[in-house]
Chains A and B, each alone.
Chain A
């Protein structure tokens, strides 16, 4: 059967994007091959590894098994949308400081899962961090440095919130 192209409207990293995509595309294929957002990785492409994790309406979601139509009308945040104009997200800094990325293939997905957690709480226990990252496989780091980075970013966010408050 020939691929049927359709127009979809996506909200990606706060931008509204209107694109023609083959109807059978996943969200991951659309991000990577239509929008040029190649940060989200195509690892297993079948829901096992977490490399394609994006944040859909605040929840870590596997974009490789999400049909693109299912993302219409929802907010999609990818690794490209985590930092702002002022610089990297504190978690990205912490990954650098703690050596939490080696080959880096799992990193975009892990950042998305971890930031979704940090949006919920800036005082997670190490166990909560582990649970939040249970669906993201990393073949390099052995995870310890990743957990260290998330814990220290959480602390950083707490300090920043505190300083913000005392400034006002």
Chain B
């Protein structure tokens, strides 16, 4: 750890961390990042291991998505996380890609994830090498889409992220980790390493579910990801419920207004419709991904309904 953060302090802007490389290397091939040095994190021992400690499940940031998906402890305590990790990309990418890299995944956009030649033909854009945003056309803000699958689930479970720099270590609740800036959508400073994710074991009692929309079910990034968790009493009364959607804007969005609707009521077909409608009202995707934004918006209530139905039988 000390060596890694030391090297980062030394090389500063010229260096980047690499874990599985499944996001960074393709991006480097597109000249979206041009570091002269890569600092490899996979063999840093502090970043490995999945175990229960002090009332948390602790997942080392360099654990691969394949490992998170098949880990018996994760499957038993947080099945929605296993599900989400198991639906990232395809099998080879899950064997290399890590959960830490998933948290730090760069945002994605039709005008950005392209070759240097392609981007140059259009005069580049705000996020890299240019001065305009082709999505909002007038905007001075990048609205590229947060496109990682595990953060929404981790948000519904109240997870915390540990960041370590050369001097100090800090813990950030995952909902504070992301910011609504498509150019760089996390509060991680360049020198900091995400070392672990901690999920309170108390969240294991919550019902959890996750669903994902994508073009090809076998390999693609999400066009929409929905995660929910809820405390439901034996008689079916909802005690608490929360939902998070992503792949729309620059950060995952916690759905608001669900408590008012559902707490104290039962999660029946009408309630599911109302919650789906409430989600629909809040989501306004832009033309930042290759698939039509109106259609993606129309899919929000469809997927929220599906995920709530999953929750009923979870």
Number of interface residues of B (CB under 8 A): 21
Please give the distance in Å from A128's CB to the nearest CB on chain B: 11
Whether B90 is near chain A, meaning CB under 8 Å from some CB there, is: yes
Docked-complex contact A53 and B40, CB < 8 angstroms: no
Docked-complex contact A134 and B90, CB < 8 angstroms: yes
Q: Which residues of chain A are within 8 angstroms of B1 by Cβ–Cβ distance?
A: none
One of B26, B90, B219 near A65 (C-beta < 8 A): B26
Docked-complex contact B90 and A50, CB < 8 angstroms: yes
Docked-complex contact A67 and B38, CB < 8 angstroms: yes
Stretch in contact with the other chain, from A56-64, A96-104, A157-165: A56-64
Whether B22 is near chain A, meaning CB under 8 Å from some CB there, is: yes
CA–CA, A65 to B27, complex, Å? 10
Q: Which residues of chain B are within 8 angstroms of A132 by Cβ–Cβ distance?
A: 91
Docked-complex contact A134 and B40, CB < 8 angstroms: no
Please give the distance in Å from A51's CB to the nearest CB on chain B: 11
Q: Which residues of chain B are within 8 angstroms of A59 by Cβ–Cβ distance?
A: 66, 92, 95
B205-223 contacts to A, CB under 8 A, are 218-219
Q: Which residues of chain B are within 8 angstroms of A56 by Cβ–Cβ distance?
A: 95
Q: Which residues of chain A are within 8 angstroms of B25 by Cβ–Cβ distance?
A: 26, 46-47, 65-67
CA–CA, A69 to B21, complex, Å? 12
Docked-complex contact B91 and A134, CB < 8 angstroms: yes
Query: Could you mark each residue 9-29 of chain B with 1 if its beta carbon is under 8 Å from any beta carbon of chain A, else 0?
Result: 000000000100110011001
- By secondary structure, the A interface counts as mixed
Docked-complex contact B95 and A60, CB < 8 angstroms: yes
- Smallest CB gap from A44: residue in B: B26
- Smallest CB gap from B86: residue in A: A131
CA–CA, A131 to B217, complex, Å? 10
Whether A1 is near chain B, meaning CB under 8 Å from some CB there, is: yes
A96-115 contacts to B, CB under 8 A, are 113
A19-65 contacts to B, CB under 8 A, are 26, 45-48, 50, 53, 56, 59-62, 65
Docked-complex contact A47 and B40, CB < 8 angstroms: no
